[in-house]
Copies of this chain bind each other. A is one copy, B any other.
Amino acid sequence: MREITTNDVANSVKNGDCIAFGGFTPAGTPKLSASAIARKAEEEHAAGRPFKIHVLTGASTGDSVDGVLARADAIISRVPYQSDSNIRNLINGGNVHYCDIHISHYAQQVKQKMFGEIDLAIVEAADISDSGEILFTTALGVAPTFCRHAKKIVVELNEYHPKKIRGLHDIYETELAPHTRPIPLVTIRDRIGTETIKIDPAKIIGIVRTNIPDQVKAFSSSDRDTDRIGEHIAKFLSNEIRSGRILPPFPIQSGVGNVANSVLKAISAETSITPYTMYSEVLQDSILEAIKSGSLLFASGAALTMTPECLGEIYDNYDFFKTHLILRTQEISNHPEIILRLGLVSINTALEVDICGNVNSTHVLGSNVVNGVGGSADFARNSQISIFACKSTAKDGKISAIVPFCSHVDHSEHSVKILVTEYGIADLRGKDPRRRAQEIINNCVHPDYKDLLGKYLSMASGGHIPFSPANAFKMYEAFASEGDMRKTNWNM
C-alpha cells in the first residue's frame, strides 16, 4: 500500500466535496487528515477562493475533525450528530447546515445516497493488507458503509492500536429493502458478521501513518445528585424484577456522562440486578471496573470511548477483556429489531422534561442545539422500559428541568415510561396525562418549583392534556427577563 502525506490527502479534496470520516465519538476518528484539509481551507480563504466541504461522520468526533474544520470555517453541512463547541457555534449561528438524524436511520440513508455521493472516506485502521483488508480500531460506527460507497478512500494506519484486537469487531451491514432479511442476532454475544472488511485496493488513495491515542476526555465525575438518581434507578429495576414485569437477564443501554456513570455504579452494586450485560452505543471508562468486578458480564457497543489510561488497561489485559467485549456497526448497535428482541432497559439523559412526560434531548430553549438526538430515540422508542434521568434544576436552581411544555420534543409522551431526578422516580406507564403530571410534580420536581407547576396544572384545566398556550412558555420568559424561573407569574 502506498504511503502518502496529509498534504496529499488535502490536495485530493475539492471545494464542495463530500468527505466521510470514520469513527464514532473520538474513538476511531481519523487524527491527522482533517487538519490538513483545514489548513488548505485557510489557504484558499486567504487567497479569496471558496473552500468548504460536506462532512459525514458516524456520530460525534474529536477535535481532530469537527474542531479543526470548524475553526477553519471549512464546513458546509454536517450529519448526523456532533458534540463540539466550535461547530456547535457555527450551527447555532446559521453558518453550518446541521441535520440531526436518528443514528439507526443513518446507514440506510447513506446507502440510498440521501447525502449525495461520498467523494472521499477517511477511516482509521489498526491494520491493512495489500489486498485491501481493513482492521478497524476502537469504533466501527458506519465506517464499513462509507468504505463500500465512497469513490476514494484514505486509511490512517494508527499504530497506537495493537493488531491483536482482531476479533473485537463484528461487521454486519443490512441490505436495502426489498433485500432485507432477519438479522440473526439473538443474544448480545452473537457474532453475525466479519472481523474485517475487504475493499478494492484501487479505491485506496494511500495510507497515512499515525500513532496517536483517541482524544477522549474523562467525563465530569458523579456527585450526590447523580448518585441519588442512580440509586433510584437501581431500586426501581430491582422492584420490576421482583414484580415479574421484567425478566432477567436484561441488557442495559446507557447514555454518556456523569448520570450514566452513577447509574452503572448503583446497578453494579444491586445484587438483584447483577450480573448484568450492556447493549449500548458508547462504552465508556465506567465499564472497566464493572467488568473487572464481575458485575458486568458482557458489553456490546459501536465504540470503545475510553481515556488512554483505561484503554491501555484493556490492551494490557486483552486476553481477559476480549471475552467481555464486542464492537458492532452503529446500524446494529441501534437497530430497533435488535433493541426490541433483546428487551433492553434504556437509560438516557434529558435536557428538559414537561409535566406530561415529553422529553427534550437536543435544543436549549427550543432553539440552540446542544449535541443532537443521536441514538437516544432508537433506544427509548424500542426498549422494554425507557428511563429518562436528569437533575431537577440547573444554574443553581434558577432553571427547572421540568417545565409545563417542552420547547422541543425529541421523545413524545408515548415513548417515555420512567422519569428520574435526584428527588425520586415517576412511573408514567398506563397513566393518562393528568395523572402523569401529578406523579412528576409529586416525585421529581424540585421543592422550589412544586407550587408553581402545581398551579399551572390546576390552571390548565379541561381537556385530556393540561395545556395553557398563554402560559406554556412563561417560565422561559421569566428566566429571560428576571434571570430566574422561580419568578414566573402565570397569566391567569
Binding site for B on A (CB under 8 A): 77, 79, 91-94, 97-102, 105, 108-109, 112-115, 176-184, 186, 245-250, 335-337, 340-343, 358, 363, 365-369, 373, 377, 381-382, 384, 405, 407-412, 414-415, 429-432, 434-435, 460-467, 469-470, 472-473, 476-477
Contacts and interface: CB of A to CB of B under 8 A. Distances in A.
Copies of this chain, tallied across the complex: 2
Contacts of A92: 462-464
A115 B430 contact: yes
Given A377-B412, A414-B101, A473-B470, A247 B178 contact: yes
Given A102-B415, A335-B340, 16 more contacts: A92-B463, A99-B431, A100-B414, A105-B414, A176-B247, A177-B250, A180-B342, A181-B341, A182-B337, A336-B337, A366-B405, A373-B412, A408-B467, A409-B409, A411-B412, A472-B472
Nearest to A240: B112
Between A93, A365, A373, A432, the greatest number of chain B beta carbons within 10 A of the residue's beta carbon is seen for: A432
Contact of A469 (B99, B176, B342, B476): B476
B366 A467 contact: yes
A411 B179 CA distance: 27
B414 A412 contact: no
A182 B184 contact: yes
A178 B462 contact: no
Contacts of A341: 177, 180-182, 337
Contact of A429 (B109, B180, B469): B109
A477 B462 CA distance: 17
A245 B92 CA distance: 31
Given A363-B465, A465-B366, A249 B79 contact: no
B177 A181 contact: no
Nearest to A460: B367
